[in-house]
Amino acid sequence: MYYSVIPGRKLTSELTARWSAIQRADPTLASPYFRPEFTQAVAAVRDDVFVGLLEDNGEVVGFFPFQRSRGGMARPVGLGLSDYHGVIARSDAQWTASELMQGCKLIRWEFDHLPTSQQQFAACYNDVSESPIIEVSRGMAAYEASRDKSGRKQLREARRKSEKLATEVGPLSFTLHSAHQDILQQLLTWKSEQCRRTGTVDFFALDWCVKLISRIHATRESDFGGMLACLHAGETLAAVHFAMYSRQVWHSWFPAYNHELQEYSPGFVLLLELIQAASGQGIKYIDLGKGLSLYKKRVMTGRIPVAEGCLAIPSVYNRLRAFREKLESWGKHSRLKPLLRFPGRIVRNMDRKKRYE
């Protein structure tokens, strides 16, 4: 196998066509995150996006998109906004993780949403979790019938709240995709407020993230694009759900709702509308993204295992990084933990912010 690297902005139409063919042929790569358009969208707003090419006898058989920083360190394209990442390669391609790293001149690749189907990285897993999905290919009636007693009760409760919202606020109207910029801006505002409330990284205050979301929102191709679904109660915007799509998968990206209407669970009502819409459009499943929060447990029908870990080639940086991690682990169990908690939190927050800028 021969490896080379090109900037993400240098992907040719021939390469994207090859990438598309490989992605469409492999069900484990069905997510829109594995589409070449996603990497191209990130490359359009960042200058650190690269793609490793895997070639066998002069034919490109695989692609490895990544973001590279100084010293040969790599992270997934889209950083904290990427719910899937890995190698997009032909199923019969013969490659190894270590050869890939060496061929791309990298010393480290950190991942946190890698499908466990990519067994070449199995030795590097630190943890495996699940990305819940809603299978919709058999239709809404089949989905409802698949729910257990508790699940069917929750669906009835959601419909009751939907009727109450319509009665007390205004008639409900569902839009599968809105091109309106004011609705997109409201979504970004709600998500930014949520990040500040929960103390998480506010991606929606980062210029490159806003540009990326806007670019994908404006993309409406047959195999890839953004979908801004919204629910209105009369003239009031009740909930918004921004997703990405590929040919057979919708991926929930940024759901948000009007907190003044939270008693009606408008976000959940909108999700049920999306399930209904997807079941009639040839979609196989809606991916809700990693994590088993309560609302995901309510609606999920299956799950996709994803791994978190790091592939590190022996180097001075990786040895220093390992030493730091040992110190942090020691601090968690040390008698000095109460004294270290506050400065440790400051350092972690600074690292987190710098990581995503």
Closest by CA to 34, choosing from 195, 236, 244, 264, is 244
Q: Give the pLDDT score at 274.
A: 96
Query: Side-chain half-sphere of 217: how many Cα atoms within 13 Å?
Result: 23
Handedness of CA 288, 200, 36, 222 (dihedral sign): positive
- 3-state SS, 119-166, equals HHHHHHEEEEEEEEEEECCCCHHHHHHHCCHHHHHHHHHHHHHHHHHH
Q: Give the pLDDT score at 350.
A: 46
Cα 345 to chain centroid, rounded: 26
Q: What is the distance between the alpha carbons of residues 151 and 144, in angstroms, rounded to a whole number?
A: 8
Structure tokens at 242: 């921004």
Q: What would the pLDDT profile of 3-43 be if each residue is shown by its tens digit?
A: 999 999 999 999 999 999 999 999 999 999 999 999 999 99
Mean pLDDT within 217-221: 97
Q: Give the pLDDT score at 319.
A: 59
Q: Give the pLDDT score at 290.
A: 95
Please determine, for residue 344, whether its predicted confidence score (pLDDT) is greater than 50.
no
Q: Give the pLDDT score at 148.
A: 84
Instruction: For the beta carbon of residue 9, count every other beta carbon within 10 angstroms.
Output: 14
Q: What would the pLDDT profile of 170-212 be if each residue is shown by its tens digit?
A: 999 999 999 999 999 999 999 999 999 988 889 999 999 999 9
- Claim: this prediction has a pTM higher than 0.85: yes
Share of the chain above pLDDT 70, in %: 88
E strand or H helix at 324: helix 316-333
Query: What is the β-pairing status of strands 73-75 and 108-115?
Result: parallel
Q: What is the distance between the alpha carbons of residues 282 and 108, in angstroms, rounded to a whole number?
A: 39
Closest by CA to 236, choosing from 191, 272, 183, 197, is 183
Query: Helix or strand or coil: residue 26?
Result: coil
Q: Give the pLDDT score at 129.
A: 96
Query: Helix or strand or coil: residue 175?
Result: strand
Structure tokens at 48: 């650190």
Q: Give the pLDDT score at 332.
A: 60
Question: Could you tell me the domains of the chain?
Answer: 2-130+306-356 (3.40.630), 137-283 (3.40.630)
Which range, 147-161, 227-241, 279-293, 327-341, has the best average confidence (pLDDT)?
A: 227-241
Q: What would the pLDDT profile of 106-163 be if each residue is shown by its tens digit?
A: 999 999 999 999 999 999 999 999 999 999 999 988 999 988 888 888 899 999 999 9
What mean pLDDT is reported for the chain?
A: 91
Query: Helix or strand or coil: residue 1?
Result: coil
